[in-house]
Structure 1
């Protein structure tokens, strides 16, 4: 039997605490106008003290399970994409598994920064179509506010906290019509590490560190590499980019999204954007945006959806899915 991977449900969670541009301007030399003009961000959600990445992930995962009409015990694979784990070890996925009461399936984390959800989605799909696992929770979750330098206006204005999750299931290729993940594409160029990184770590400094970014250089790389990944994944699926119904990008910067849309001749009304109210939530941004599109009725069963992301590493990638 030939298998494919279909999406059964999605879920999202954002912390209650909201940090607006106006409030941020009291902490760092910036303004609402400066931030909006350069990024499109109006506000972002910030995890409260004691609110962990695993907490956000668990809430999103439970919402996805509820949306799919499934129980945690139905899941035999959990992959969490995160740059901000609860602990050095064990994995945040292991902690989420316990909090959900999911039982002893496989659970591990993926670290590809903002591209993490694409990496996790592709990894889960490979496990599922191999027949090794039946149902997977793929979660992007971040408390990115914990690694920000709140005196660096070039980075602290960009990021927020949140989590989003997909429930995926392996089914017979002949079932579910055209639904399912069609293709995925992942790349990394480690020579570009210094464009976006954290200046701390277990084996280097013994500290958490803070995000450091060469913003202009990242922007120049982003449009080219993201567009290339989108074209590549559509070519693999033998589908023209212009055939997609919805474009769900990583919510990094509104100008990057507009640049990709223009480069690939997409329409602005095809874009699912949550950046104004959430900022860049790193690995959580794609599932959060997808869930928003489903919740407001734009994304419907059978729609062709294209995802993309780029993050520190530099990593980048794309995935094509029929909802």
Structure 2
């Protein structure tokens, strides 16, 4: 089989960076009152800046597909003719602009130069971007493709805006209940960001400069053991199953803000770290990779709250990764879901820090129903 290399990495971040003081300027206040959870969430997640694909007035500036396509175009910079060589496009997101057609074909529609090629659209949440990467990697490794592009993007701000919750708040107030949204709905408003990233995946490394050889990618799901934790377009029943938006009336969708993103934070906290770290260590042991074989550790974090939890659990498992090996840009780029790992690797790739022979461990968790993808790369 062919060796596989990431030869180019690019990103697209919409508009200017937004600091925490301006979040409710963009997203609005619910029931005319500042969020009670905002300060708590921001203190824990450690995010200082993020990007929104909308103006201060709430007007959209980009579609999800447009951002993904712009990140793909950025791979080739001043040489757009290179787009004609692309023979596979795999694009992922947890926030497509529509249920049909698929996200990836919408991105393809923004890239007419690529011609008629294979297009794949993995679904999912944070792991979806890694699944797109894995499909591109396998296609090149098998010799089926030679110039694959994978991309991941998110545009979640439209569902984070306060007007999506006003009707529910009004209904709760009329029932003389607490007119503050459940923490499971509100806290995600201060966690998420928009943007896109892309990899160029080929069977040969760059003639000049560095490339990243993909040694392996491993994925696992624990959905057979655990109920859904994060969900959208559904609501959770008492038995842990989900009731689909298709089974609600139009008014019920509004009354319960069913199309908002929800998270079972108790289920998250008791499972996300130990499941992911245990599986990662098991995979590394199977592959014969020890702590001395890792120069950079890139964990996708939804919040810096989990950084110390992961570090402590790694130490408990006698697999300590010292602080200088960790690399994340959550603080400055925000949590961009499926695109986060692309933005992290893009920043490290262009930082000037990497030298040939360095080895990079990637770890991407997905709390939606507890899935994980791990990757191991070598700088060549």
What is the TM-score when the length of structure 1 is the normalising length? 0.88
What CA distance in whole angstroms lies between the structure 2 residues aligned with 1:255 and 1:170? Answer: 39
Decide whether aligned partners of structure 1 residues 72 and 236 sit closer, same or farther in structure 2, where only a CA change above 3 A counts: farther
Does the 8 Å contact 2:210/2:356 carry over to 1?
no
What CA distance in whole angstroms lies between the structure 2 residues aligned with 1:236 and 1:258? Answer: 25
Instruction: Work out which of the residue numbers 125, 130, 137 in structure 2 matches 1:118.
Output: 130
- Write the deviation string for residues 252-303 of structure 1: whole angstroms up to 9, x where unpaired: 1112233223313112222221111222110000010111112222234442
Larger Rg: 2
Superposition pairs of residues 237-316 of structure 1, within 5 angstroms: 237-262=287-312, 263=314, 264-311=319-366, 312-316=368-372
- Write the deviation string for residues 16-75 of structure 1: whole angstroms up to 9, x where unpaired: 144432223673424775334311112321112141111111111112233999711111
Superposition pairs of residues 1-323 of structure 1, within 5 angstroms: 2-24=1-23, 27=29, 28-30=34-36, 34-48=40-54, 49-66=60-77, 71-100=82-111, 101-148=113-160, 150=162, 152-171=185-204, 180-190=213-223, 192-200=226-234, 203-205=246-248, 209-262=259-312, 263=314, 264-311=319-366, 312-323=368-379
Of Structure 1 and Structure 2, the greater strand share is in 1
Alignment size in residue pairs: 319
What CA distance in whole angstroms lies between the structure 1 residues aligned with 2:8 and 2:270? Answer: 35
What CA distance in whole angstroms lies between the structure 2 residues aligned with 1:202 and 1:129? Answer: 40
Q: Which consecutive unaligned segments of at least 5 residues does structure 1 have?
A: none
Segment drifting more, 284-293 vs 79-88: 79-88
What CA distance in whole angstroms lies between the structure 2 residues aligned with 1:202 and 1:104? Answer: 35
Does the 8 Å contact 1:149/1:155 carry over to 2?
no
What is the TM-score when the length of structure 2 is the normalising length? 0.76
- Aligned Cα RMSD in Å? 2.8
Decide whether aligned partners of structure 1 residues 257 and 161 sit closer, same or farther in structure 2, where only a CA change above 3 A counts: same
Does the 8 Å contact 1:184/1:233 carry over to 2?
no
What CA distance in whole angstroms lies between the structure 1 residues aligned with 2:118 and 2:215? Answer: 24
What CA distance in whole angstroms lies between the structure 1 residues aligned with 2:218 and 2:42? Answer: 31
Segment drifting more, 156-165 vs 240-249: 240-249
What CA distance in whole angstroms lies between the structure 1 residues aligned with 2:196 and 2:77? Answer: 15
What CA distance in whole angstroms lies between the structure 1 residues aligned with 2:375 and 2:80? Answer: 25
Segment drifting more, 307-316 vs 154-163: 307-316
Decide whether aligned partners of structure 1 residues 66 and 231 sit closer, same or farther in structure 2, where only a CA change above 3 A counts: farther
What CA distance in whole angstroms lies between the structure 2 residues aligned with 1:67 and 1:10? Answer: 15
Q: What is the deviation of 1:232?
A: 3.5
Decide whether aligned partners of structure 1 residues 31 and 155 sit closer, same or farther in structure 2, where only a CA change above 3 A counts: closer
Decide whether aligned partners of structure 1 residues 38 and 161 sit closer, same or farther in structure 2, where only a CA change above 3 A counts: same
- Secondary structure of residue in 2 paired with 1:187: strand
- Secondary structure of residue in 1 paired with 2:328: coil
